[in-house]
Amino acid sequence: MTTATDKDRVLIFDTTLRDGEQSPGATMTHDEKLEIAELLDDMGVDIIEAGFPIASEGDFRAVSEIAERSKNSTICGLARANFKDIDRCAEAVRKSARPRIHTFIGTSPLHRAIPNLSMDEMAEKIHDTVTHARNLVDNVQWSPMDATRTEWDYLCRVIEIAIKAGATTINIPDTVGYTAPVESADLIKRLIETVPGADDVIFATHCHNDLGMATANALAAVAGGARQIECTINGLGERAGNTALEEVVMALKVRNDIMPFHTGIDTQKIMHISRRVSTVSGFVVQPNKAIVGKNAFAHESGIHQDGMLKNKETFEIMRPEDVGLSGTSLPLGKHSGRAALRDKLAQLGYEIGDNQLKDLFVRFKELADRKKEVFDDDIVALMRVGEGGEDDALQLVSMKVTCGTGGPAEATVEMEVDGQDITATSEGDGPVDATFKAIRKIHESTARLQLYQVHAVTAGTDAQATVTVRLEEEGNIATGESANTDTVVASAKAYIHALNRLIVRRGKVGEGVDAREISYKDVH
């Protein structure tokens, strides 16, 4: 399927909204999915796997709306190997200018045992379902789930069947992150050489990171002949995650001398979408994460700093600007105006409306009054976490906390609950524990705290603390985040933010089958 002019082009298939969202606690709201899809479309992602339409009415609506809104990307939905899934998927992507159905079935011995199908029965099912999908759309992707643990002869057999039935892309998933780079390259190479019709389709690779080799395996597969990489922003995904989009894209760009391939990704937009995905998913990017980690372009060692001062290339193989990162401090203060703030936001990759700027400007001024220096990362934190919406059922009005060595901490919290001011006081094992208990007195909830995480946005005793809180209630998971120079205030706001999201989700019960209830959902 590749031609002389595009044989070195690697397609980027982003599955942040599908495989990435399967991470426990990473569930996104409808509006958040639309926002991330727009950012992916704008940065040049070739194919966006927007969701699993059969999973729920909410997932179907998100895929459908993304398909209608997308300007450049192919929009893909996932479907298991049955007509009902495929029909629902086709309906969801039909408004896309470039719709794709991605259907799959587990082909390894372990996965064949789940539906209790013989090899012949599964082969027939693959033929029938791929044929059905191809009758609905021209662009069909097929995946033999757990391909890397499937018998070689059977893998070749079912791939040939899928190609003859009309699949245009064959994806080879390393579903459990089991393979190694040398195996990944060899598997793709042998399949292309062996399977009849392989020259007429695109081979793709989908790697998980259970052994920390997802990026290496994906790049090795490209060397073996794959021309589509399935990946996610920040490597988000089940268990240890998926291949990270930013890693494979920048690896191909920086080491083009030994990997002579290219993508259509605007790399200067990587940092912005990385931060946004981190915010909406509630998964903080580890500081030493490649490309997008806070320390990726930081140099503390004296030898490193000396080298950087003399020649940046001594210790940097790419420029921070290449991924959209600004390393300068923000030359704004409490006397700065809206125009200056808007200009700096544009430099950081944010285009916002007048109303949003008005809200942000107020919070910026408050921060500038509390901090000696305001850095780019401080502004990014304000954009990331925002403040609660005016329509939220729960609003923090005020709080006072006392703590020390003389006894238990005590917190008095005043909140507005559906327009009514309520105050409660509680003791606890530390200021945060006391605050959370006071909030629970005001708003009774069975939600269980799954995660409480604090990290400093910048250095200094006046640094903002960004707090992430994840709550679980009856299977619903919600994440709240807030930033403040007062860690306890940030904690309270993050906790209330998560509670508000749970209230919203509780109100949406009955929209459809929740994705987590779908059997056989641990796809790829």
Query: Which tens digit of pLDDT belongs to each residue from 331-354?
Result: 576 677 788 788 878 877 788 888
Which position has the higher pLDDT, 175 or 508? 175
Confidence band, pLDDT 50/70/90 cuts, at residue 360: confident
- C-alpha distances in angstroms, 168 versus 96, 178, 275, 370? 17, 26, 34, 58
Confidence band, pLDDT 50/70/90 cuts, at residue 510: very low
pLDDT at 66 over 70: yes
Q: Give the distance from CA 241 to its chain's centroid.
A: 10
Q: Quote the pLDDT of residue 29.
A: 82
pLDDT at 53 over 90: yes
Q: Is 208 marked as a binding-site residue?
A: yes
**In whole angstroms, what is the distance from residue 115 CA to residue 122 CA?**
9
Relative to beta strand 140-145, strand 11-14 is unpaired
pLDDT at 364 over 90: no
pLDDT at 18 over 80: yes
**In whole angstroms, what is the distance from residue 77 CA to residue 372 CA?**
49
Q: Is 30 marked as a binding-site residue?
A: no
User: With pLDDT > 70 as the criterion, what percentage of the chain qualifies?
Assistant: 88
CATH number of 11-281: 3.20.20.70
The answer to whether 381 touches 465, Cβ cutoff 8 Å, is no
Instruction: Please state the length of the chain.
Output: 524
Point out the least confidently predicted range of 130-139, 193-202, 452-461, 486-495: 452-461
- Of 159, 173, 267, the C-alpha closest to 214 is 173
- Of 178, 289, 277, the C-alpha closest to 232 is 277
For 394-506, CATH number out of 3.30.160.270, 3.40.1170.10, 1.10.1060.10, 3.60.20.10 equals: 3.30.160.270
Q: Is 206 marked as a binding-site residue?
A: yes
pLDDT at 326 over 60: yes
Sequence ranges of the domains in the chain: 11-281, 297-324, 325-385, 394-506
Which position has the higher pLDDT, 432 or 6? 432
Q: Quote the pLDDT of residue 325.
A: 75
**In whole angstroms, what is the distance from residue 355 CA to residue 227 CA?**
43
The answer to whether 39 touches 70, Cβ cutoff 8 Å, is no
Confidence band, pLDDT 50/70/90 cuts, at residue 388: low
As a whole number of Å, the end-to-end CA separation of the chain is: 24
Q: Is 476 marked as a binding-site residue?
A: no
Mean pLDDT on 16-29: 82
pLDDT at 229 over 70: yes
Q: Rounded to 5 degrees, what are φ and ψ at 336? A: -75, 155
Mean pLDDT on 9-27: 88
Point out the least confidently predicted range of 112-116, 130-134, 237-241, 456-460: 456-460
Q: Quote the pLDDT of residue 344.
A: 79
pLDDT mean across residues, the chain: 87
pLDDT at 77 over 70: yes
Q: Quote the pLDDT of residue 511.
A: 39
Q: Quote the pLDDT of residue 392.
A: 82
- C-alpha distances in angstroms, 78 versus 47, 132, 151, 206, 471? 12, 14, 24, 14, 28
Which position has the higher pLDDT, 45 or 477? 45
